[in-house]
Amino acid sequence: MAGVNRITRDLQGRALSRPEIRQERFARNLERRIAARYGLVFCVSLEDAKRMRTDWGCPHAEFLPTSIADSPAATPEKQWLREGVLRLLHLGGLNHGPSFRSLEFLLGEVFPRVPGAVLNRIRLTVAGACDTTSPRSRKVLGLIQRYPQASFVGYLEDLEAAYRDADMQVVVSTDACGLRTRIIESFAFGLPVLATTGASCGIDGLEADVNVIVADDAQTIADVLGALLAAPERLALLAAKGRETYETRHGRQTAPNPSLSCCGRCAIAGRCRSMSAHASACTR
């Protein structure tokens, strides 16, 4: 809620109104009351689970790793930087707050800092829903039109081809989380990820410069893009480590089933009266 209000405020060039401030305060208080009421709270962010245990006094907050239904087969011997071009993929609806922030930052702050010779060897594909009546969508479309290296392909029903074609997914939101699923999907497909701290926070098993590249300021990200063009072997290593992280920490076949173990621990501790209580637990 807070992130959405901040994005709206910045887009409209104004401060938060008193009703918005009250709304944020109410939402925070409501979250804590709901978490305290139920015997088990599943968190899809490891950081959220830790925060709820320590700051909120909710020992029953449990981390639930994210996975995808059908783990794709890894692409054998993928050719990176085909024709000397770094193919970047950005996913998410243009009107979605975190995705909007990510594209606004990438196209408005990062690309202007990339040297022309480097930018000419980059191709950015932006995929996602677009509401042309939305100020956010219109702003992003305007930014995309500035760069012949960028293209908007709209909403894609099947993302597998996009994952297979790209060299890297960029997830560089500056203001909100909610983008973890895209990073985990990239790992599953063996696609390297360049992300900000905020966008990647809470994913179990992340190691900067091992299975993901994490950078927060525009110049650093611009420098990373240039460096990757000279080091396709780095992309291959990131892809392999990302896939390994997915299989060992998130994949359904190899990762432990935390929901069952959580329910067992809570039942033993007497925090839930029945399994139906688990089904109605607040999911974050």
Specify the CATH number for the domain of residue 201.
Answer: 3.40.50.2000
> How many Å separate Cα 57 from the centre of its chain?
27
**Amino acid 43: pLDDT:** 75
What CA–CA distances, in Å, run from 15 to 24, 62, 140, 152? 14, 36, 22, 31
**Amino acid 254: pLDDT:** 57
The verdict on 20 and 134 lying in the same domain is: no
In a domain, 148, yes or no: yes
**Amino acid 82: pLDDT:** 95
The verdict on 227 and 91 lying in the same domain is: yes
Judge contact between 212 and 195, C-beta under 8 A. yes
Backbone conformation region of residue 222, classed left if phi is above 0, alpha if psi is from -120 to 50, else beta: alpha
Q: What total of structural domains would you count in the chain? A: 2
The verdict on 86 and 149 lying in the same domain is: yes
Distance CA 174, CA 111 (A): 15
Task: Please give the model's pTM, rounded to 2 decimal places.
Answer: 0.76
The verdict on 91 and 221 lying in the same domain is: yes
Judge contact between 181 and 246, C-beta under 8 A. no
**Amino acid 8: pLDDT:** 59
The verdict on 42 and 124 lying in the same domain is: no
The verdict on 189 and 88 lying in the same domain is: yes
**Amino acid 245: pLDDT:** 92
The verdict on 236 and 266 lying in the same domain is: no
In a domain, 3, yes or no: no
**Amino acid 276: pLDDT:** 39
Distance CA 122, CA 171 (A): 16
**Amino acid 257: pLDDT:** 53
Q: What angle do CA 76, 78, 82 make, to 5 degrees?
A: 165
The verdict on 146 and 239 lying in the same domain is: yes
Q: Which domain holds residue 93?
A: 82-250
Distance CA 247, CA 71 (A): 9
The verdict on 56 and 93 lying in the same domain is: no
The verdict on 135 and 242 lying in the same domain is: yes
The verdict on 110 and 237 lying in the same domain is: yes
Distance CA 167, CA 233 (A): 12
For every one of its 284 residues, what pLDDT tens digit does the chain have, with 9 covering 90 and above?
445 556 556 555 667 788 878 888 888 888 888 888 887 888 777 777 788 888 888 888 887 767 676 667 666 678 999 999 999 999 999 998 889 999 999 999 999 999 999 999 999 999 999 999 999 999 999 999 999 999 999 999 989 999 999 999 999 988 656 677 889 899 999 999 999 998 888 788 889 999 999 999 999 999 999 999 999 999 999 999 999 998 888 876 655 555 545 555 554 455 544 333 433 343 34
**Amino acid 265: pLDDT:** 53
Q: Which tokens belong to 190?
A: 């063996």
Q: Which tokens belong to 90?
A: 């950005």
In a domain, 75, yes or no: no
Q: Which tokens belong to 17?
A: 């109104």
The verdict on 178 and 111 lying in the same domain is: yes
